[in-house]
Amino acid sequence: MNDNFYQHRLDEIFQENDIRFAGFIDSRGSLIKGKFREDIVPFETNTEQQKIFRELAYRVATRKNFDYSMGPVKYSASRREKLVMMSFPLKKNILLITTEPNVNIDRLAYKILQILEK
């Protein structure tokens, strides 16, 4: 996957109005490419964001231990008071998305999966 792949997918993802942040994270938890919607002020500092990325990478790697019995994870989501956080494991990387709290998780996840399959 190259920079064009990431940029094209981010452009498509940000066509959804409820997206706050979208970014591709590598298996070590480093941000490959991502951004916040222009009018968003992040809830976390850069240091806290990096910690979230590392913890996400760890959780995704841990979930792979159960792929043999339950199949691979398509996406994972958590609804918080101020936002929804969704992760989409890719071959070697992870797509992390945060949205406004009122989003329909399943509808958005379906759209994101379609974008990633292109």
Which tens digit of pLDDT belongs to each residue from 64-79?
Answer: 889 999 999 999 999 9
pLDDT of 94: 97
The percent of residues in the chain predicted with pLDDT above 90, rounded, is 91
3-state secondary structure of 26: coil
pTM of the prediction? Answer: 0.93
Which residues have C-beta within 8 Å of that of residue 74, sequence separation ≥ 6?
A: 88, 109, 113
The percent of residues in the chain predicted with pLDDT above 70, rounded, is 99
Q: At what angle do helices 105-117 and 3-13 cross, to 10 degrees?
A: 150
Tokens 């979208």 correspond to: 22
Q: Which residues of the chain have pLDDT under 50?
A: none
pLDDT of 3: 83
Q: Per-residue b/e over 41-76, b at no fewer than 16 CB within 10 Å?
A: eeeeeeeebeebbeebbeebeeeeeeeeeeeeeebb
